[in-house]
Amino acid sequence: QMINDDGGIQVQGKSYKVELVIEDGKSSLDGNTAAATKLVLDEQLQLVVGPGAFFNLATTPIFEQNKVLHVANYNGLNPAEMNADTPYAFLGLDPITQHSTSVKALLQYYPDVKNVALASEDATFAAYESHLLAALERMGVSLAGDPVLFATNAEDYNPVAAKIKAQNPDAVWICVGIDPSYFGIVKGLRTLGYEGPIAFAIDVPSVLGALGDSATGIVGVMSVQLEDPNLAEPMRRLLEMGDPGRHVFGLGPNALYMLRYAIEAADSLDPTAIRDKWETLTTLPTLYGEGFPSGNQLYGLTNHAWARPVPVALVNNGQAEYKPWIIPDVTP
């Protein structure tokens, strides 16, 4: 709607309105395979946004075989999702920049931190591990001990919190997880008397509602809220269009927003022409501000993976303070 309200996508002097054709991947590999097949073979689409996470494993082969330009919301770092042999694959958010930004924000507001306890969910950690450790090394931060892994379906996170506290870290970085994991670990740490800062991706209202008195010493990234004075204007417009109380990261809409500008830069609707032009771009508008390439070496593709400014909120004593957004470090 935002794009169409602004006059649509401009190509060779003509305005094109965006019409979304939506297929539900049903949160499964088989569902995403079926959805991608229908979009390509039945709907004859040449430009696709999504999916996210490891579901790209199911869709990438279908899109690539048919030369469909596809922009994933984010991915799980499996090489089969995006690599030098997937020339039509683009990535709206390089996950390493997203996750490592938590530590960059941590160091900005707690400059005395020298080491962190790293906690992450177990299913995806193997794919992330080497990249996360390399990011820590680039920032001059060491691990306080072995990474502490957990299952996102755990009913009790106190044993996880106990393992983290036993490392006596300067700070805690909960890298990949879901809200119940984050909240359970934070509550466990505070109950055990750990007083250091804890960094993770947050939704501010959810954190304040779930943690109560435990919501202190938290360095949160990724939370986009209308009350944030640093909120980028495109994201503000997006939030004002729907229920202001909903939990929004905006990864899917952002991928579409970026594709719009790549199309206009190419002045073409042809997937190959858009791809070729996109590979020359070093900046691109996003819902969060100006985006930039990240991960050229990691993915083996030039300017196919992107990063952008990240919101930051400090939570202390049950109150959130929105801080200036930070620019992530580029992933090699």
User: What pLDDT is attached to residue 301?
Assistant: 98
pLDDT over 80 at 242, yes or no = no
Give the residue-averaged pLDDT of 290-298.
Answer: 97
Distance, CA of 19 to CA of 66 (rounded, Å): 21
Q: What is the DSSP string of 154-166?
A: -S--HHHHHHHHH
User: What pLDDT is attached to residue 230?
Assistant: 97
User: What pLDDT is attached to residue 243?
Assistant: 76
Tell me: the pLDDT tens digits for 41-100? 999 999 999 998 889 999 999 999 999 999 999 899 999 999 999 999 999 999 999 899
Q: 53 near 27, Cβ under 8 Å?
A: no
Question: Which of 130, 128, 195 is closest to 164 using CA atoms?
Answer: 195
CATH topology agreement for domains 2-91+251-286 and 96-228+311-326: yes
List the structure tokens of 59: 């869709």
Confidence band for 248, pLDDT divided at 50, 70 and 90: confident
E strand residue ranges, 77-155: 89-91, 115-121, 142-143, 148-150
Give the residue-averaged pLDDT of 15-41.
Answer: 96
In percent, the amount of the chain with pLDDT more than 70 equals 99
Question: Which of 207, 220, 174 is closest to 314 using CA atoms?
Answer: 220
User: What pLDDT is attached to residue 210?
Assistant: 95
| Cβ-based neighbour number of residue 317 at 10 Å | 8
Question: Which of 151, 104, 99, 316 is closest to 218 using CA atoms?
Answer: 316
Q: 26 near 33, Cβ under 8 Å?
A: no
Tell me: the pLDDT tens digits for 95-142? 999 899 999 999 999 999 999 999 999 998 999 999 999 999 999 999
Give the residue-averaged pLDDT of 24-39.
Answer: 96
In percent, the amount of the chain with pLDDT more than 90 equals 94
User: What pLDDT is attached to residue 182?
Assistant: 96
Q: 86 near 62, Cβ under 8 Å?
A: no
2-91+251-286 folds as Rossmann fold (3.40.50)
Q: How far is CA 142 from the centre of its chain?
A: 24
Q: What is the pTM of this model?
A: 0.94
Distance, CA of 55 to CA of 35 (rounded, Å): 11
Give the max Cα distance, the chain: 64
Distance, CA of 83 to CA of 95 (rounded, Å): 15
Name residue 84's amino acid. A
Distance, CA of 118 to CA of 97 (rounded, Å): 16
Tell me: the pLDDT tens digits for 180-218? 999 999 999 999 999 999 999 999 999 999 998 889 999
From residue 123, give the alpha-carbon distance in Å to each of 33, 120, 150: 21, 9, 9
Domain ranges (residues) in the chain = 2-91+251-286, 96-228+311-326
List the structure tokens of 89: 């694959």
pLDDT over 80 at 329, yes or no = yes
List the structure tokens of 312: 């930051």
User: What pLDDT is attached to residue 253?
Assistant: 94
- Taking the CA atoms of residue 26, residue 178, residue 135 and residue 319 in that order, the dihedral angle to the nearest 10 degrees is 130
Angle at 314 between CA 310 and CA 318, to 5 degrees: 135
User: What pLDDT is attached to residue 70?
Assistant: 98
User: What pLDDT is attached to residue 159?
Assistant: 98
User: What pLDDT is attached to residue 327?
Assistant: 96
List the structure tokens of 236: 């503000």
Burial (CB count within 10 angstroms: exposed 0-12, middle 13-18, buried 19+), residue 184: buried
96-228+311-326 folds as Rossmann fold (3.40.50)
